[in-house]
Amino acid sequence: MASCDPLNILIVEDEVLLAAELGYLIGEVGCIEVGHAMTSQEAVALARKLRPDLALVDVHLGDGPTGIDVARCIARDCGGVALFMTANVRRLPDDFAGACGVIGKPYSEHGVKMALVYLDACLRDGRAPGLPPAGLQLAPLWAELWGVHDMPRSA
């Protein structure tokens, strides 16, 4: 990915209105929505075909609580990075299923935009520009990889 290219982002969300809002916010920060999936099968097929830089993944999709499997597949097979966007933060495994972090629902438009800008910098530079913005919790492995120290602990 060249430094001037916008991030290509896949939305994995079964609530159409939330997906539309995320698509709008993605465009607002200069990124590109490359696709939208409502089930794990659609998400995996699109991720394999489109190879997004980042996937915004809900845990509970149209076919059940399958978002964790989607995140693992994106990390393992598709060369992309997943970010959970879920009301089920406590259901995430300790390793975040390979995802770089989580934004808990309900979230604010401003919080999502700041998280996308932050993650864009992390993915481009291979290091964080500082501590994550409010509302974004990084996975421990990614925090270490991006050099984020003294991260606040979630409750």
Q: What residue has token string 């990075």?
A: 81
**Any domain includes 49:** yes
**How confident is residue 2, by pLDDT bands cut at 50, 70 and 90?**
very low
Tokens of 41: 């099968």
- Decide: residue 106, CB within 10 A, 0-12 exposed, 13-18 middle, 19+ buried: exposed
* Per-residue pLDDT tens digits for 100-124: 999 999 999 999 999 999 999 999 9
Number of domains in the chain: 1
User: Taking 80 as the threshold, does the pLDDT of residue 125 lie above it?
Assistant: yes
Q: What pLDDT score does 1 carry?
A: 38
CATH number for position 75: 3.40.50.2300
**Any domain includes 55:** yes
**Any domain includes 153:** no
Tokens of 53: 């830089």
Strand partners, 83: 56, 101
**Residue 97 sits in which domain range?**
8-145
Nearest CA-CA partner of 103 in 61, 55, 47, 43 = 55
Helix (H, G, I), strand (E, B), or coil: what is residue 59?
coil
What is the percentage of the chain residues whose pLDDT exceeds 70?
94
Report the chain's mean pLDDT, rounded to a whole number.
Answer: 92
